[in-house]
């Protein structure tokens, strides 16, 4: 449990004027504990767990059941960070009633303090219904991974003036609906700045330049735990994957050479017991005892 003061939704709202908000994804107890100890403001239990942890190609594979499991693991770490949980694809698309029910599961079973969903003005009524259930909502505009098939891939959004104007209007619609913050993903820096200035709630960028009110990255990307190429907007602050591989290689080498386990890592018995075990006496006694117990 972190010694930092707990972060709440009102505190996040107040950070519109700074200092900047920090957010990372976390999907389990250890990563949540690490993020909290580092003083991270917001933990996002993202549907990116489908990619980062379960090896799926898209976030579309995440389900409400999966998000509940990972959210509960995160909240059991009792982080000081505000825990926001992604509503996965198809958990809020069928009906507002189902959206409220699924958001409630993320709070009741997963321990979430807030939920996040993707979309603009087309989601405002759903957001209002979730808010009416006393569940805070974070918005998400720009490159929305749940719309990857409709977008034709993971592409920067809002490059054309018409698209940029529509995104600004969507941000204002989310603000009016009552979201307490908005994630801006994969948008040009000038557009992210315009949106940040246009709304009174904090914006949190990922691949959106430095003018937003905060930043978010995936835990595994920040620590260099992933493989392959990272997106352009990622900065890795460590190479834990490389360190882990090297550590496991040294462990395997020590096992093969007999260097592990050493004396300090081995349990012992009294000398007389060790002598009996060494000369087979204890084994003989055990056999005789077993034979006696089986006699009529």
Domains of the chain, CATH where assigned: 9-234 (3.20.20.60), 245-294 (no CATH)
The Cα 63–Cα 143 span in angstroms is: 20
DSSP secondary structure of 241-284: HHHHHHHHHHHHHHHHHT-SS-GGG-----HHHHHHHHHTHHHH
Percent of the chain with pLDDT over 90: 89
- pTM as predicted: 0.92
Structural tokens at position 163: 């698209």
Mean per-residue pLDDT over the chain, rounded: 94
Report cis status (omega within 30 of 0) of the bond before 19.
yes
Q: What is the pLDDT of residue 229?
A: 84
Q: Active-site residue 185, yes or no? A: yes
pLDDT at 4 over 90: no
Three-state secondary structure call for residue 122: helix
The Cα 188–Cα 247 span in angstroms is: 40
Mean pLDDT of 143-154: 93
Given 125, 134, 175, 185, which residue is catalytic? 185
pLDDT at 1 over 50: no
Name the residue with tokens 């720009």. 142
Structural tokens at position 290: 């077993």
Q: What is the pLDDT of residue 293?
A: 55
pLDDT in tens, 104-135: 999 999 999 999 999 999 999 999 999 999 99
Structural tokens at position 201: 């709630």
pLDDT at 51 over 50: yes
Q: What is the pLDDT of residue 130?
A: 98
Provide the terminal-to-terminal Cα distance of the chain, rounded to the nearest Å: 59
pLDDT in tens, 196-208: 999 999 999 999 9
């Amino acid at each position: 449990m972190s010694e930092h003061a707990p972060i709440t939704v009102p505190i996040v709202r107040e950070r519109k004027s700074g200092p900047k908000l920090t957010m990372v994804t976390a999907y389990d107890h250890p990563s949540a504990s690490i993020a909290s100890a580092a003083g991270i403001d917001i933990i996002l239990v993202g549907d990116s767990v489908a990619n980062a942890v379960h090896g799926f190609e898209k976030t579309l594979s995440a389900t409400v059941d999966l998000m509940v499991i990972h959210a509960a693991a995160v909240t059991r770490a009792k982080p000081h960070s505000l825990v926001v949980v992604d509503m996965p694809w198809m958990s809020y698309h069928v009906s507002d009633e189902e959206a409220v029910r699924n958001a409630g599961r993320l709070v009741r079973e997963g321990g979430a303090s807030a939920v996040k969903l993707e979309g603009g003005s087309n989601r405002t009524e759903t957001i209002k219904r979730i808010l009416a259930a006393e569940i805070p909502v974070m918005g998400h505009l720009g490159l929305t991974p749940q719309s990857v098939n409709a977008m034709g891939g993971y592409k920067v959004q809002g490059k054309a003036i018409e698209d940029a104007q529509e995104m600004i209007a969507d941000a204002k619609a989310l603000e009016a609906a009552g979201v307490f913050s908005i994630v801006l993903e994969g948008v040009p820096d000038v557009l992210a700045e315009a949106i940040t200035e246009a709304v009174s709630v904090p914006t949190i960028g990922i691949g959106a330049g430095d003018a937003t009110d905060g930043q978010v990255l995936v835990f595994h990307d920040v620590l260099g735990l992933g493989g392959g190429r990272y997106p352009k907007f990622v900065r890795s602050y460590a190479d834990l994957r490389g360190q882990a591989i090297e550590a496991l290689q040294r462990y395997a080498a020590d096992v093969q050479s007999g260097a592990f386990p050493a004396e300090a890592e081995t349990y012992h018995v009294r000398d007389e017991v060790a002598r009996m075990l060494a000369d087979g006496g204890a084994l003989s006694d055990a056999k005789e005892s077993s034979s006696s117990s089986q006699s009529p």
